[in-house]
Amino acid sequence: MNLVLKIEESKSVLLNYGFDHFESIFSTYKTAAQSNFEIRAVMKFVRACYEARVLIEFDWINWKEGFEALDSQNFENKGLQFLCMILTVIIRKDRIVENYLLHEMKRGTIEKLLNQIKVHYGK
C-alpha cells in the first residue's frame, strides 16, 4: 500500500477513534503511582496505537531524522506522517530496549506528540 494512502487511512481512523481515548490512557499513566499501573498504561497505549492504525511500516532503525527529532524533542511544524513515524519508532524501539516507551512517556515525548497531532486537527 502506498505510504501516503496509509497515512490518510490512519488519519481518518484516528479522527474516528477520538483524541479523548488516547488522552484518557495517557492520563492514566500520568497519575499512576505503581509500576503495575505504568505497565498497563503502556500496554493500553500501544494497543490503542495499533487499533487506530497510526503506526507505519518503514525502515525506522535507519531513520536518522527521526532519531534527531526525538533527541531534540522538536516536533513543532512537523506533518502528521512525521509524527506517526516518530510514534512508530518509539513503539518499535520499546521491543528492543526494555521500558523505552515508558521512558519517553516520563520524558514528556508522548504528550508532545499527541499535542502536535491535535494541532493538525485544530483541537
Total length of the chain: 123
pLDDT tens-digit series, residues 22-66: 555 555 555 444 466 777 778 888 888 888 888 999 999 999 999
Phi, then psi, of 74 in degrees rounded to 5: -95, 100
Supply the pLDDT for residue 52: 83
Looking at the structure of the chain, the number of domains it has is 1
Which range has the worst mean pLDDT, 19-28, 40-49, 80-89, 97-106? 19-28
**Cβ burial 80-110 (10 Å sphere, 16+ → b, else e):** bbbbbbbbbbbbbbbeeeeebbbebbeeebb
Query: Do residues 32 and 45 make contact, with C-beta atoms less than 8 angstroms apart?
Result: no
Supply the pLDDT for residue 7: 47
What does the block give as the cell for 116? 502536535
Domain that holds residue 40: 3-120
What does the block give as the cell for 36? 503495575
**At residue 27, what is the residue type?**
S
Supply the pLDDT for residue 3: 43
More confident residue, 29 or 101: 101
Residues with Cβ within 8 Å of 55's Cβ and at least 6 positions away in sequence, in order, are: 49, 84, 87, 88, 91
Q: What's the average model confidence in pLDDT over 92-99?
A: 89
99 pLDDT above the threshold of 60: yes
Supply the pLDDT for residue 114: 86
